[in-house]
Structure formats: C-alpha cells, structure tokens
C-alpha cells in the first residue's frame, strides 16, 4: 500500500467552488493561504483547515461520466499515489514540513452538485460510499507546499472503521 504520493493540484478560491489551481500556497492552522469559504459554519476552521481528495478517485468518477475535476468539489489539495482507503480520521500526513492530521470525512453539499452527472453529490458520501469521500485536516505547524511535493502517510490506523 502506497505510503507516499504527490500533490498534483493546490486549489483556492475567494469563496465557493470551483477552487482554481495555484502553483504553491502556505498552510497554517487558519487554512490555505488565498482560500476563503462562504459558509463558515460548515467549512473552514481549525479542524477543517485543509480539504484533500485523491486524483485516482476523481479519474474514476470521470470514467463514470461525472464532470468532476481537481478543485470542483472544493478540495484544497488534490493528491496522487496514496492509499486513499488509509486516509481516514486519525491518520497523519507530512507535506512540505507540515503535518496534516485527518479530522473527518467531508460531507457532500449542494454547492458541488455540478460536478456530478445526476446533480447528486452523495456519490462521494462516506456514509453511502466508504472510501470515496474527501477529507478535512488540521494543520500542525506552518509551511509552504508546492505542486509536485511529496506527501507521505506517517501514521496509519490499523482499524479505521466506517463513518457513522
């Protein structure tokens, strides 16, 4: 199971989706530099500072006929090469000298429905489709990340369980 991957896209917006690619960004407890959320009740904050998603999942969804692409579902870091089934709450990743602690699965919302052929964003619900969700992470420390940086799984849980 891959323990190392690569950042393939860093995505930010002034609010809402799609988030657009940038070559680099600073990560901190406050989130991703240059990124804002319109709905601060459900997005952002220290336990949702960074949203991550797997390029392999995006490509599989594209093969199913969905219009999803990096950033269209609001993720800040699109990564390739990690065992996405191991990226669960409690797992830890290192990237650019920063440790990311996965805090929760990201619930799909109506603002990302345009990424799905049937306007049903539940296709990436952790409850309905385990292993297909985006995840939220807390940032421990600060640091700059760049497209092409290595991202490494440093704490793997032996029994991650299934979301409620």
Question: Residue 36: is it exposed, middle or buried by C-beta count within 10 angstroms (0-12/13-18/19+)?
Answer: middle
pLDDT at 156: 85
CATH of domain 4-155: 2.40.33.20
pLDDT at 164: 41
Residue 59 makes CB contacts below 8 A (sequence gap 6+) with none
Helix (H) or strand (E) holding 56: helix 55-63
How far is Cα 110 from Cα 112, in angstroms, rounded to an integer?
Answer: 5
pLDDT at 157: 82
- Which residue has tokens 């940032």? 139
Question: Residue 52: is it exposed, middle or buried by C-beta count within 10 angstroms (0-12/13-18/19+)?
Answer: buried
Q: Which stretches in the chain have pLDDT values below 70?
A: 1-2, 37-44, 158-164
How far is Cα 114 from Cα 99, in angstroms, rounded to an integer?
Answer: 32
How far is Cα 139 from Cα 47, in angstroms, rounded to an integer?
Answer: 8
pLDDT at 16: 85
Domain ranges in the chain?
Answer: 4-155
**pLDDT, tens digit, 9 for 90 and up, residues 40-65:** 555 567 899 999 999 999 999 999 99
User: 119, 68 in Cβ contact below 8 A?
Assistant: no
């Amino acid at each position: 199971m891959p323990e190392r991957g690569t950042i393939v896209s860093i995505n930010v917006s002034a609010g809402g989706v799609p988030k657009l690619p940038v070559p680099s960004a600073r990560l901190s407890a406050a989130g991703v530099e240059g990124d804002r959320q319109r709905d601060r009740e459900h997005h952002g904050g220290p336990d949702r500072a960074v949203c991550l998603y797997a390029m392999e999942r995006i490509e599989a969804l594209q093969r199913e006929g969905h219009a999803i692409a990096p950033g269209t579902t609001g993720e800040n870091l699109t990564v390739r090469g990690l065992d996405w089934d191991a990226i669960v709450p409690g797992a830890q990743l290192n990237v650019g000298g920063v440790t990311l602690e996965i805090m929760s699965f990201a619930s799909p919302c109506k603002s990302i429905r345009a990424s799905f052929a049937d306007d049903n964003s539940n296709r990436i619900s952790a409850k309905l489709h385990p292993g297909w969700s985006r995840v939220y992470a807390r940032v421990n420390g600060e640091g700059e990340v760049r497209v092409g940086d290595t991202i490494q799984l440093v704490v793997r849980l032996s029994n991650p369980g299934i979301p409620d």
